[in-house]
């Protein structure tokens, strides 16, 4: 069994952003030497998400609009969590978008559908955060 564990660091200068991490995950799968296995990609912060969907800017805009309707950032006073913080909406948005993805590795490649792409979604940026990439297999 082969394994590879890496942490990717994200420095997002804005409060929210969707960032493709697809190529970096592909690179790490290649580095691991795993031909058949799984890769876990996990946002290690409770105001960030990792998700898979289409790499299309219109969809990314739609996520922003939809999530802001579900859990609006302001007014901060609407949330009990915000006793000195202003990121309660980020916690709720993360709950909807998810914490991690697990992708099969087949023949040394990510085994995804034709439009599937891996993203990091930041909901409370302007500080350094980590993403765990854990690869296991043969």
Residue found under tokens 């990792």? 50
- For position 35, what pLDDT does the model report? 98
Report domain extents, the chain.
Answer: 2-137
Average pLDDT, the chain: 96
pTM for the predicted model, two decimal places: 0.95
Residue found under tokens 């087949």? 106
Superfamily of domain 2-137: YjbQ-like (2.60.120.460)
Q: Which of 21, 119, 124 has the alpha carbon at shortest distance from 71?
A: 124
Q: What is the pLDDT of residues 9-54, one digit of tens each?
A: 999 999 999 999 999 999 999 999 999 999 999 999 999 999 999 9
């Amino acid at each position: 069994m082969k394994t590879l564990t890496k942490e990717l660091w994200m420095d997002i200068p804005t409060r929210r952003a969707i960032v493709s991490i697809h190529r970096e995950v592909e690179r790490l799968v290649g580095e691991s030497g795993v031909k058949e296995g799984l890769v876990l990609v996990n946002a290690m912060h409770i105001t960030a998400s990792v998700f898979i969907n289409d790499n299309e800017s219109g969809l990314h805009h739609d996520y922003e609009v939809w999530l802001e309707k579900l859990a609006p950032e302001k007014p901060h006073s609407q949330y009990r969590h915000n006793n000195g913080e202003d990121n309660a909406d980020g916690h709720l948005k993360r709950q909807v978008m998810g914490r991690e993805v697990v992708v099969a590795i087949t023949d040394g490649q990510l085994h995804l559908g034709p439009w599937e792409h891996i993203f990091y979604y930041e909901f409370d940026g302007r500080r350094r955060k980590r993403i765990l990439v854990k690869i296991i297999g043969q």
